Structure 1
Amino acid sequence: MEALIREAQTDEIHMVHQIMIMAFEEYRGKLTPPSGALSETVDDIIGKIAKGGGAIIAEVDGIPIGSAQYVFYDSYVYIGRVSVLPSHRGFGIGQKLVRYIEQAARDRGISESRLGVRLSVPSNVAFYSKLNYEIVEKHAYPEETDYWYIMKCSLAS
């Protein structure tokens, strides 16, 4: 399955949001606290973009099947909300989304990427570990109902 990865246009942010909600739906009612992705709005995404970020879309045969968001900071890019529709998982699309953003960071002279991963979703920790991300911080949610890692990856060539 060949996926085209591209920047989302302003009028496509609703699509980025819809893909994210559909991809994160499996976590509804299963995580404490709930995933922030499920309460994020289109306006929230637009706000991140206004602060130096962007959003990308993955398409197969012109049909949107994945998305991700990012924000550039001085020394790193933060990657978030990597989302692939359940029907298209297992084909390397999530990896392509991450690699696209990493290359965009390299193009800007940024040599590190970071992201957050919940410990209660160990498959995501394993996914990013396979992409050479390492755990650098551990944080607790309120009342220690769950924890999350900050993971980072060097983008140096």
Structure 2
Amino acid sequence: MEIRFANLSDTSVIHDLMIKAFLEYKDEVPPSSALEETVQSVLIALKDGERSLICYIDNQPVGMVRFKIKEDSLYFYRLSVIPEMQGHGIAKKLLSFLENFAVQEELTSIFCKVRMTVTRNIKLYSSMGYSIYDEEVVHKPNGLSIKIVSMMKKLG
């Protein structure tokens, strides 16, 4: 297993991994906004300072995570592992790599936002030392609302 920082030429790989991983949420109400993203929207985000890690097994991409540094914290999102490789510790490896990077950058915390309905992700992050520090309801333009929890882990 190898984890590498992505570059602009990896945009379609990042998008492909994200779509494959988030397809399981297509029937959620509302569906994940990750499914509305395009290769172009990911490219624009990367050009605007977003970064990404990609995990490879035997030179095949199997997972990724997107992130930004916000003041003294690292915010990650769209953590994605392709369905056939879920349950093999890839998400934990990506998060550990990200946490080590954040420590090297002298950041004090790492955080994410998770739909309350996706309990397995809340359990995953909790098992790695993250705790819920906020709850909110996000109101989508279509009139639907999503309950979100914010989770954080202190570093250092």
TM-score, with length taken from structure 2: 0.92
Aligned to 2:149: 149
- Measure, in 1, the Cα distance between the counterparts of 2:40 and 2:152: 27
- Taking a change above 3 Å as real, the CA distance of residues 129 and 144 of structure 1, as seen in their structure-2 partners, is farther
Mean CA deviation greater in 47-56 or 77-86: 47-56
AA of the residue aligned to 1:81? R
- Measure, in 2, the Cα distance between the counterparts of 1:121 and 1:71: 22
Q: In 2, are the aligned partners of 1:49 and 1:71 still within 8 Å (CA)?
A: no
- Measure, in 1, the Cα distance between the counterparts of 2:19 and 2:11: 12
- Measure, in 1, the Cα distance between the counterparts of 2:49 and 2:104: 15
Trace 1:61-140 onto structure 2 (pairs within 5 A).
61-140=58-137
Mean CA deviation greater in 37-46 or 77-86: 37-46
AA of the residue aligned to 1:40? E
Trace 1:13-32 onto structure 2 (pairs within 5 A).
13-29=11-27, 31-32=28-29
TM-score, with length taken from structure 1: 0.91
Cα offset, 1:47, TM superposition: 3.1
Q: In 2, are the aligned partners of 1:33 and 1:141 still within 8 Å (CA)?
A: no
AA of the residue aligned to 1:149? V
- Length, aligned pairs only: 153
Task: Give % identity.
Answer: 29
- Measure, in 2, the Cα distance between the counterparts of 1:104 and 1:77: 9
Stretches of structure 1 that go unaligned for 5 or more consecutive residues are none
- Measure, in 2, the Cα distance between the counterparts of 1:145 and 1:115: 19
For the aligned residues, what is the CA RMSD?
A: 1.4
1:25 partner SS: helix
